[in-house]
Amino acid sequence: MEINGFGSFIYGNPYRRAFIREADAQLAKRLERLEGAIGATTQPAETRDQLLRLRRQVVELRKALEANNQPVRLSRTFLFGSAPVAATATSAINLNLGATIPLTAATLESMEEVNTMATSFTPFGPNFTGASTTEATIGGIYDGSNGTATLTFRVTKGGTHGVSNIHVRVYDPAEVEIDFFNVKSSDPINMVYTLANGLTFTLGAGDAIQNDEFSIQVFDSVGSAVDPDKPFDGIRNQNPNFENGLSVTAGSFDVNGETITVLATDTINSILGKINSSNAGVTATFNSQTEKIMLTQNTLGSSPTIVLDNDSSGFLAATKLAAATVIPGTDRQIGPDDILSSIPQFASVINGSILINGESIAIDVGSDSLNDVLANINASAAGVTASLINGGQKISIVATSLTGQIILNGNGTGFFTASEITETTYNPTEGQLHRITRKGLTDRRSQQLTRSLREVANTLNPIFDEAKSAGSLGPSLIQLRANLKGAIVGSSGSKLDTDFGINFDFGMRTNTVFAFSRANQDQLTASLRRKPDAAHTLLFADNGLISRLLAVIQQAEQELNAALGLSGTFVDIFA
């Protein structure tokens, strides 16, 4: 009753109830502030950019692991011994035959593509979409770090170039800022500003309107190409696009002693036209497929050549002709397509018929070439195949059956004597094969597996790189590191050491937890060739290291996708 009475006193009195409600509200606010403070120290806020960067790393590691998640054959089979060999008759020595080839001309070709860059971008002179009057020019060498994408340059602080400061920000297709530039009023007009991805841009005189923008396309797998019809002094979209650092100016160069004048307004094609109309005696062409220039001597044979020198314009260097080597022309030689009577080796052969396995093959030294004779042998019912081997210097006659003989008889023509083939009976050779199984992987598979694990190291180590994660160490990254470490060394370990090149260390040097050096790679490759069991057990056995890491990384990718609100279809494209 006393308790009930006390309760009635407390909760029955309206003033007491108001006091309790106020006290509860203050206590709740204090708890909320305390929980917020604790959360701020233990769970740092993560931005979408952090989650996106982490997801990129996770996807790269997942792909590297999946490339390794396949069975490994621990043995290889070799065949030793000899296979059966069909009866064969071959010239005892080289016949000193030439190659029957026509006259050809000397040529000189660019040593490589005029522009060898493996990446590209367009346009060189993009236009603002709005009313800005300043003109932008893009240059440099794109390093491919933004993939194939559209990059947008946006004026976030407008002004007159040279009068006020102008701010330009660069965004990727996801509207993630990848660069920022403060174009100061004191900067020279057309000052070059360099992006982190290797590209450059300049702004000409004029106004840059706030929020005005222009876009360019970058390609990480489409190479740059020179335009043979753009003038050497062309700027912006008239740029001929020579390889970075190379250009052509007014000057001249010599071709076979003939001076070719180069104007700044010339193009590659106009210069080639000047060469062709000169007395240099060569024909110059540009191949748009190979992106090379070819000079061809107009006179056939081994003597006429092509000489390029005295270049003051830079044209020969820019077109990769300066260090090119002339391929001499050739003079006609006597060979197996010439009639037998004109070939010194067969000058003693007379008309008649040779016998092979009793089959008669006619020979006319005044009309048949050596190749004609071989073709007639193959067309006969002799049951053999005749051909030229050893670079066209020996005649080989092989039975078409593994059990058949070859019986040769020159029949007075002297053909086999001239061919350095003995007239006799040739029998087949029997052979035996032995199958031997050896432990270990093939060289190719060992090297392939080592390269795949090197990619795992290259994608795993950045996740633990403190320098790269400074200022962005969120709970997702912390948890991922813990899960990966647990999958590799367990909950209490810090190292995993093997004697076959795979070692992990989560100690002081956490930025290279998987130190897969060249020596480690060679050690692993050698082990896989000779005794792969230990490496196979660690990496690929039931619940092996690869499958454990793959399970962790797949779970992390799912959680990051959920946190970012990405759909399955978008994830595939994004990856």
User: What are the tens digits of pLDDT across the range 299-358?
Assistant: 998 899 999 999 999 999 999 999 999 999 987 677 888 899 988 889 999 999 999 999
Query: What value does the mean pLDDT of the chain take?
Result: 85
pLDDT in tens, 402-460: 889 999 999 999 999 999 999 999 999 877 666 666 667 777 888 888 888 899 888 88
Q: Residue 245: name the closest of 321, 137, 320, 318 by CA.
A: 318
User: Is the pLDDT higher at 284 or at 535?
Assistant: 284
Report residue 212's pLDDT band, with 50, 70 and 90 as the boundaries.
Answer: very high
Look at residue 45 and tell me whether its pLDDT is greater than 70: no
Return the pLDDT at 472. 61
> What's the pLDDT score for residue 21?
52
Residue with tokens 């011994």: 81
Nearest CA to 244 out of 264, 221, 224 is that of 224
Q: How far is CA 1 from the centre of its chain?
A: 89
Helix boundaries (H) for 311-414: 315-318, 370-379
User: For residues 56 and 54, what is the distance between their CA atoms, to the nearest angstrom?
Assistant: 5
Q: 18 CB contacts (<8 Å, ≥6 apart)?
A: none
Tokens of 335: 């060979």
Which residue's entry shows tokens 């509200």?
25
Confidence of residue 546 (pLDDT cuts 50, 70, 90): confident
The pLDDT of residue 159 is above 70: yes
> Which structure tokens are listed for 354?
């040779």
> Would you kindly state where each structural domain of the chain is located, as residue ranges?
48-73+441-574, 88-99+334-426, 120-223, 249-313
Lowest mean pLDDT among 10-24, 58-72, 427-441: 10-24
Where residue 193 falls (left for φ over 0; alpha for ψ -120 to 50; beta otherwise) is beta
Q: What is the pLDDT of residue 3?
A: 35
Q: Domain 88-99+334-426 carries which CATH code? A: 3.30.70
Q: Is the pTM of this model over 0.75?
A: no
254-301 tens-digit pLDDT? 999 999 999 999 999 999 999 999 999 999 999 999 999 999 999 998
What number is the average pLDDT over the span 86-99? 84
Residue 539 clears pLDDT 90, i.e. is over it: no
Lowest mean pLDDT among 159-163, 165-169, 183-187, 388-392: 388-392
